[in-house]
Structure 1
Amino acid sequence: MTFLFSSALLLVNAQSLQKMKTHQEDSLAITQVLENDYFKGIYEGNISLLGKVLHPGTLLFGDVKGQPYAKTLEQYLDGVAHRQSPKDSGQPFKGTIISVDVINSIAVARVQVKMYEFNYDEFLSFHKIDNRWMIVNKMITDISE
């Protein structure tokens, strides 16, 4: 009886360790997407990088300087393509990951993006599609005031 209980306990612990390992791997993968593609894409104005991590159906909502903000992915990428990038302007830029929460195939990252006179707090919803973490929703607010 003790052997069966000990074996069951070891199995439960092994499953918990595997879930923790998977969670850590997913959090790391999302962190890499944010740092290597999302922040870099915004900084450089690189819509190819952004298009790689933003799902085609991504919607963007929030407020900027107190005004409602709602865009489709196409509208957002068009705006990025037609503005001077922070890199080209020589203006400071900083992307910071505040948190990443993962549950199975979904996740939410809270990030801050400082560029030009804006200081954005963002919530980015992720979904793991074809073994890749993609942003499927972006909510922003400008907290510069």
Structure 2
Amino acid sequence: MKLSLIIAWLFSFPLNGHAQNVKNMKTSQTPETEIRNVIENYYFKGIYEGNTDLLKKAFYEGALLFGDVDGVPYCKTAEQYIEGVGNRVSPEKSGKGFKAEILSIDVINSIATAKLNVRMYDFNYYNFITFNKIDGRWSIVSKTLTNVHP
């Protein structure tokens, strides 16, 4: 008798709980995963290879870059920066070391920031990258940087 009551009680609950939510879950990537993809496959790879086409996919057309390199102020448009990367000997071809890592990513709605460390040539850059999701894709809208000596 007790078992019958317990079974009847369990069947009285609606079946639209967790199982229903799992069925309706989206399989799309999280914003952080999408941003990691932009950083690793377009930004880092573009810098390493000197591949301006990859960098153009990472940056919003009107993006700006600011900072300092060894105390010297740095200010460029994304177009100027990408052109400069294309005109230099890439870290890949230089034979010098290249290490790039994502230190953090923070996302709130359609904006995000990423803190990066890029070691190349004789530089130890810290980059603070701002992203905005524009027309369905994450793009770099600003970059600040500085070179830190060990």
Distance 1:143 1:67 in 2: 13
Q: Tell me, in whole angstroms, the C-alpha distance in 2 between the residues paired with 1:85 and 1:122.
A: 18
Alignment match, 2:98: 93
Q: Higher helix fraction: Structure 1 or Structure 2? A: 1
Q: Report the number of matched residues.
A: 130
Q: For structure 2, which runs of at least 5 residues remain unmatched after alignment?
A: 1-16
Contact 1:120–1:144 under 8 Å retained in 2? no
Q: Which structure: larger Rg?
A: 2
Partner of 2:7: none
Match of 2:144 in 1: 139
Normalised TM-score (structure 2): 0.80
Partner of residue 103, structure 1: 108
Q: Give, as a single letter, the amino acid of the residue that structure 2 aligns with 1:59.
A: L
The percentage of counterpart residues that share the same residue type is 54
Q: Which runs of 5+ in 1 are unaligned?
A: 1-9
How many Å separate the matches in 2 of 1:144 and 1:42?
Answer: 20
The corresponding residue for 2:66 is 61
**What is the CA-CA distance between 1:131 and the residue it aligns to?**
1.2
1:48 paired to 2:53? yes
Indicate the SS of the match to 2:30: helix
Task: For 1:27, give the aligned amino acid.
Answer: E
Q: Deviations over 1:74-102 (max 9, x none)?
A: 21111111100000111110110000000
User: Which residue of the other structure, out of 14, 29, 32, is the alignment partner of 1:27?
Assistant: 32
Q: Which runs of 4+ in 1 moved over 4 A?
A: none
Partner of 2:84: 79
1:82 and 1:37 map into 2 onto residues whose CA distance is 18
RMSD across aligned positions (CA): 2.1
Deviations 1:55-113 (A, max 9, x none): 00010000001110001112111111110000011111011000000000000000000
Q: Which amino acid aligns with 2:85?
A: V
CA distance in 2, matches of 1:120, 1:51: 20
In the other structure, the counterpart of 1:70 is 75
Q: 1:144 Cα shift?
A: 2.1
Distance 1:73 1:33 in 2: 15
Q: Secondary structure at the match of 1:108?
A: strand
